[in-house]
Amino acid sequence: MTQRPFIPAMVISSALLLIAGCGDQPTSTENPAPTETPVVTNAVTPAATLSYETSFQLGDTRTLTTLYSYPNSNTPESLEDTIEHYLNQRLQRDRIPNGVADVTVDQGIYSVSITGNSESINDYSTQIPQFLNNGTLAANAVAELKQAQKWDDQDWRFFLPLGLSIVNQRSVQLLHFPPDYSLPDQDYLNSKTSQRWEKLLMLNNVAANEVTLYESILDVAPIAAPASAGSTLSETYSYFEPYVVSMLPLLLDIDEGSASALPIVAYGGPVRSWVSSYYKLNNFSVNTTASITIQDGINAPILGANHPSYIWYVKEQGRAAAMKVMEQDLISACWQASMGNNTQQDADTVLSSCNSYWQGQPMTVCINMEIQAFDKTETEAEAICSSDLPDHSAVKPSEENNNSVVF
């Protein structure tokens, strides 16, 4: 992955008052049988027009039916169409110019041909097969949960993070579980939580057309479930651990030979607790950093953060509590934006800079808090904050719990 320099720029939107952040940010440095790794059948060949193509096998009908949670569309479609939909979504979110995925099936074996005007096309022939192989670990965990009678057949469905950036991603978002409605919608990012965090990233100078590069999601429980299911999922974590720790090197770019890993943000109490337990961390809380070992000799920087939905719960404690969380979230998104642009930076130095910046912008924090938490218009928010700026300096919002999730 090519790292781009972090260049602060003013970002203004009348709808969201996207005032640039991190202005002072330093810029330095059922259970399918596992299948064999699909074989690439056609190497990438650049044409004179700088168009690239790669073709490779995906797997058989039985395996792909499970890994793509088929059927899952609100409208009738074939498994072939479903796979093609999610692969094209990946191309869009990786920002591949003229990217197109064409899925075909021959005697029960599915293959894909991917074209586009980017050398990154080549990476799909390794990333997608490895993603699917890792996905079989999660599918096996589902079978084990069912055998142990710990699976809710009524409200839960297995759901891998399909359709997200996988070759040009700049960070990994470690989350709890995907919302149940995103499966029939066939859009992993069509949720209130993802949309809110996108706004926070844009407030920290991430361009709107690049925000999906920061949204490479990995859930500790790859289960599409209702928002109220949060507290019932904790018994599943240990079953999915082999899947999670196998998927991390792929999403963090380590598998491509990089000596440094992309940054990780761990959202919400349940995820921070899992990270603390698995990686033996102490005091891993909101806006604290740590370094976790992904592979021998390679660590990844990780930041603890609030769940993006937490502000909609904490606002019941008052404006000052909501503003405190808003400030914390802007700091977290600032760290993610900067570290995603330059992984060579020191994680603690970046966090200190983000703290300093956003703690010095109370009016901007207040206005965006009123817009996001209390559904005020920009004009209303400006008037409210101008006349009554909450003092949140000594506020400590109550801890979020497993149920504090709104999708």
Q: Which 3 state secondary structure label does DSSP give 109?
A: strand
Taking only the tens place, the pLDDT of each residue in 200-214 is 999 999 999 999 999
Residue 377, pLDDT > 80, answer: yes
- Residue span of the structural domain in which 399 resides: 1-29+156-407
Query: Percentage of the chain with pLDDT > 90?
Result: 79
pLDDT of residue 38: 36
**Residues 338 and 202 placed together within one structural domain of the fold:** yes
C-alpha 226/C-alpha 180 separation (Å) is 5
Taking only the tens place, the pLDDT of each residue in 177-227 is 999 999 999 999 999 999 999 999 999 999 999 999 999 999 999 999 998
**Residues 22 and 111 placed together within one structural domain of the fold:** no
The domain boundary, picked from 151, 171, 189, lies at: 151
**Residues 74 and 136 placed together within one structural domain of the fold:** yes
Residue 35, pLDDT > 90, answer: no
Structure tokens at 193: 């939580």
**Residues 92 and 190 placed together within one structural domain of the fold:** no
The domain boundary, picked from 88, 123, 151, lies at: 151
**Residues 258 and 405 placed together within one structural domain of the fold:** yes
Structure tokens at 173: 């978002």
Amino acid at 216: S
Structure tokens at 232: 């019932």
Residue 403, pLDDT > 60, answer: no
**Residues 62 and 13 placed together within one structural domain of the fold:** no
Residue 110, pLDDT > 50, answer: yes
**Residues 361 and 216 placed together within one structural domain of the fold:** yes
> What is the model's pTM?
0.88
Residue 398, pLDDT > 90, answer: no
**Residues 55 and 113 placed together within one structural domain of the fold:** yes
∠ CA 37-42-43, nearest 5°, is: 95
**Residues 319 and 216 placed together within one structural domain of the fold:** yes
The domain boundary, picked from 132, 151, 170, lies at: 151
Taking only the tens place, the pLDDT of each residue in 337-360 is 999 999 999 999 999 999 999 999
Residue 264, pLDDT > 70, answer: yes
Of 55, 152, 67, 146, whose CA–CA distance to 106 is shortest? 55
Distances (CA, A) of 70 to 121, 311, 353: 26, 34, 45
